């Protein structure tokens, strides 16, 4: 009995050391990474956006595809959105177990991933051209070409981000339609505060939060409108329009001074009428159908493009284009990559699936024939609140495609916007600091 102790000890030590030395290989086999089971079935892992409707769509597609193709198994799951879906994907890559394919990828993040060689150029996979032609996206894909000439992302949807207004409260204040310029908005804020001191124009805790992606839904919406669609960062240089940037920050500062901004946690501020104005994505409508069925387009809320500085034409307002797509990861096996592409080809071979997507997620598909194809027209006619989102796609500027987008957009909040909203800095200084920080990072 006693003799066995040292043997046991040595054995357990040996096992530990052995497994410590088998660098990385363990991770792959643990994740079943060559993707082939004993039966020759290819398993691919699909990461869907954390938005439940998107996840539901991909689950349905995966099931239908599996039914037709017995040799492929598709596991659909949602990307963890805490701290952010981008960070979750990076951590998985660092952990040596990225998925095969995922959606919800913006251009900047794709550039970042491509830089660290984590993505497959899609045009190198058979079937890519067929997707482009069968989905009618030759024009849509054009601006998605990366600096190295490759295509890493297949855009799925593109929608103009709009602002929502509580038209019922606006009416009480004597407005038949939303204000369109900064001074009109400020005037409305004054009237609102006079009548309801507890209400705010815009109530949003995110205004004080430096997290990078949050700037898409406040700063870039207003800035794009103020600058007429200036790109902010092009290639590796900062080309921000100072006048527009300062005007945007000044607008927020004026709103703050008029007590029109509430940068703290509020439970459903727009829906409960604490605020009369909010950035609104079409995904919200599914959430409302479940939680706030009383929210009706034309009755108590309406939509508009971002307000513009005085003296600009509100009719030419621009906004931010929320547009995201699919990528396939380089760490997946060749078989998995090809299976993933085949799946995509199958999904987009019929416009019906895109129609289904549009209907379920409310996100306008990124295709050239969105406004001409009958199957999409029917959906737009049935839900008029989606129309402005689709119509304004040409007026919407896509996010920056700089691989450092995360750091850069964090600076916008940290150096300027968050501080202005808290009243710690004046707009001009905020803009200068932001510019300095961004230029420093881009060098």
Partner 1 sequence: MVGSNRNRKIRLSVRYAIAVVLLLVMVYPYLYMVLNSLADWSQVDRKLIPDAFTLKSYQWLFLGGETGVTRPWIGSFLNSIVVSLLSTALMMAFGVMVAYALSKLRFRGRDTVNNFILFHMFFPAIILLIPSFLIVQKLGWYDTYWALIIPKGVSLWAVFMYTNFFKAVPDAFIEAAKLDGARDFQILYKIMLPMSKSITSVIFLFLLMERWTELLWDMIMVRSDHMLTLNVLLSQMFGPYGTYPGPLYAGSVLLSLPIIILFILFGKKFQEGMQFTLK
Partner 2 sequence: MNQNNPRLGWLFTSPYLIYSLVFFLGPLIWSFYLAFTNWDLIAPTYEFVGFDNFLKALKSPGVQSAFWVTYKFMIVFVPLVIVMSMAVAVLVHGLPKFRSVFLIGFFLPYLSSGVVSSLIVKGFLSYNSPLNETLRRLGVDINWLGSPWAALLVVGAIMAWKFTGYYALILTSGLAGIDKEVYEAAAIDGVSNRQRFWKITLPLMYPAIYTTLILAFGVTFGIFTEVYQLTGGGPNYATNTWQMEIFSQAFKNLQAGYASAIALLASLATFISIFIIRKLLEVWGKRNGWV
Return d(Cα 4, Cα 345) in angstroms, integer. 60
The item of partner 1, partner 2, none sharing an interface with residue 319, based on CB under 5 to 8 Å by kind, is none
> Looking at beta carbons only, is 90 or 250 nearer to partner 1?
90
Give, for 280, the enclosing helix (H) or strand (E).
Answer: strand 275-280
Candidates 265, 349, 350, 372: give the one binding partner 2 (CB under 8 A): 265
Judged by CB under 8 A, which of 26, 32, 37, 83 binds partner 2?
83
* DSSP state at residue 36: B
Write out the two tokens for 407: 């750091």
Which two tokens mark 316? Answer: 């030419």
Residue 6 contacts partner 2 per CB under 8 A: yes
What would the x/- binding string for partner 2 be over residues 93 to 122, using CB under 8 A? Answer: xx---------------------xxx----
Q: Which is nearer to partner 1, 128 or 196 (CB)?
A: 196
**Residue 326 near residue 105 (C-beta atoms within 8 A):** yes
- Name which position in 138, 296, 334, 422 contacts partner 2 (CB under 8 A): 422
Instruction: Give 134 or 272: the residue with its C-beta nearer to partner 1.
Output: 272
Residues that bind partner 1 (CB under 8 A): 1, 19-20, 22-31, 50-53, 55-56, 59, 77-78, 80-82, 88, 91-92, 94-97, 213, 267, 283-284, 286-287, 289-291, 360
349 binds, among partner 2, partner 1, none (CB under 5 to 8 A by kind): none
Buried b (16+ CB within 10 A) or exposed e, 46-65: bbbbbbbbbbebbbebbeeb
Burial 134-148 (b: 16+ CB within 10 A, else e): ebbbeebbeebebee
| Residue 219 interacts with, from partner 1, partner 2, none (CB under 5-8 Å by kind) | none
Q: Which of 21, 67 has the CB closer to partner 2? A: 21
Helix 219-227 to helix 242-257 angle, to the nearest 10 degrees? Answer: 130
Alpha-carbon distance values, 206 to 75, 166, 197, 211, 396 (Å): 33, 20, 22, 8, 22
Nearer to partner 1 among residue 274 and residue 379 (C-beta): 274
442 binds, among partner 1, partner 2, none (CB under 5 to 8 A by kind): none
Of these partners, partner 1, partner 2, none, which one is at the site of residue 230 (CB under 5 to 8 Å by kind)? none
Report the site for partner 2 in 199-238 (rule: CB under 8 A).
203, 205, 208-211
Asked if 20 interacts with partner 2 (CB under 8 A), we say yes
User: Which residues does 70 contact at the CB level (< 8 Å), separation at least 6?
Assistant: none
Q: In whole angstroms, give the CA distance from residue 318 to residue 307.
A: 9
**Interaction between residue 394 and partner 2 (CB under 8 A):** no
Say whether residue 25 binds partner 2 (CB under 8 A). Answer: no
Beta strands in 79-223 (DSSP E): 101-105, 154-160, 162-165, 200-203
Q: Which stretch binds partner 2 (CB under 8 A): 155-163, 257-265, 281-289, 307-315?
A: 257-265
- Please name which of 265, 266, 216, 227 lies closest in space to residue 399, comparing C-alpha atoms: 216
Reference 159, options 365, 12, 420; nearest CA is 365
Q: 198 is in the binding site of which of partner 1, partner 2, none (Cβ under 5 to 8 A by kind)?
A: partner 2
Measured between alpha carbons, how far is 269 from 278 in angstroms, rounded to an integer?
Answer: 9
Nearest distance, CB of residue 11 and partner 2, angstroms:
11
Whether residue 83 is preceded by a cis peptide bond, meaning omega within 30 degrees of 0, is yes
SS3 (DSSP) at 302: strand
Q: HSE of 55 in the Cβ direction (CA atoms, 13 Å)? A: 11
Other Cβ atoms within 10 Å of 87 Cβ, number: 14
Sole binder of partner 2 in the list 46, 122, 419, 431 (CB under 8 A): 419
**Given the complex with partner 1, which of 75 and 257 has the nearer CB atom?**
75
Region from 23-31, 40-48, 83-91, 228-236 binding partner 2, contact rule CB under 8 A? 83-91
266 binds partner 2 (CB under 8 A): yes
| Contact partner, 26, from partner 2, partner 1, none, Cβ < 5-8 Å per class | partner 1
Binding residues for partner 2, per CB under 8 A?
Answer: 2, 5-6, 8-9, 12-13, 16, 20, 83-84, 87, 90-91, 93-94, 116-118, 198, 203, 205, 208-211, 262-267, 269, 272, 274, 406-407, 418-419, 422, 424
């Amino acid at each position: 009995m006693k003799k066995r102790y040292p043997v046991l000890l040595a054995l357990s030590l040996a096992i530990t050391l052995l497994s410590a030395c088998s660098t990385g290989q363990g991770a792959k086999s643990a994740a079943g990474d060559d993707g082939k089971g004993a039966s020759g079935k290819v398993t691919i892992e699909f990461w869907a956006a954390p938005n439940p409707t998107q996840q539901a769509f991909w689950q349905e597609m995966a099931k239908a595809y599996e039914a037709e193709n017995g040799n492929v198994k598709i596991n659909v799951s949602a990307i963890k959105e805490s701290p952010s879906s981008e960070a979750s994907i990076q951590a998985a890559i660092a952990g040596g177990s990225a998925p095969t394919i995922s959606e919800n990828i913006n251009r900047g993040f794709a550039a970042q991933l491509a830089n660290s060689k984590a993505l497959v150029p899609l045009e190198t996979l058979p079937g890519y051209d067929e997707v482009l032609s069968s989905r009618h996206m030759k024009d849509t894909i054009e601006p998605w070409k990366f600096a190295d000439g490759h295509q890493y992302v297949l855009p799925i949807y593109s929608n103009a981000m709009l602002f929502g207004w509580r038209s019922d409260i606006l009416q009480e204040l004597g407005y038949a339609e939303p204000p369109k310029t900064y001074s009109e908005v400020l005037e409305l804020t004054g009237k609102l505060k006079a009548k309801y001191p507890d209400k705010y124009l815009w109530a949003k805790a995110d205004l004080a939060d430096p997290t990078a992606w949050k700037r898409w839904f406040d700063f870039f919406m207003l800035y794009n409108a103020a600058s007429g669609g200036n790109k902010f960062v092009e290639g590796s240089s900062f080309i921000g329009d100072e006048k527009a940037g300062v005007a945007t920050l000044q607008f927020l500062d004026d709103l703050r001074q008029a007590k029109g901004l509430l940068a703290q946690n509020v439970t459903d501020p727009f829906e409960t009428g604490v605020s009369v104005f909010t950035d609104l994505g079409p995904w919200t409508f599914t959430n409302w159908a479940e939680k706030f069925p009383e929210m009706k387009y034309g009755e108590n809320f309406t939509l508009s493009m971002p307000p513009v500085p005085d003296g600009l034409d509100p009719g030419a307002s621009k906004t931010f284009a929320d547009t995201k797509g699919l990528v396939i990861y380089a760490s997946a096996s060749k078989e998995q990559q090809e299976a993933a592409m085949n799946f995509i080809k199958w999904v987009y071979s019929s416009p019906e699936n895109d129609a289904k997507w549009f209907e379920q997620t409310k996100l306008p598909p990124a295709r050239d024939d969105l406004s001409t194809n009958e199957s999409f027209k029917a959906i737009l006619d049935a839900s008029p609140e989606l129309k402005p989102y689709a119509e304004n796609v040409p007026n919407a500027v896509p996010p920056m495609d700089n691989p450092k987008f995360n750091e850069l957009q964090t600076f916008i909040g940290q150096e300027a916007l968050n501080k202005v909203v808290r009243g710690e800095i004046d707009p001009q200084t905020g803009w200068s600091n932001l510019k300095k920080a961004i230029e420093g990072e881009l060098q």
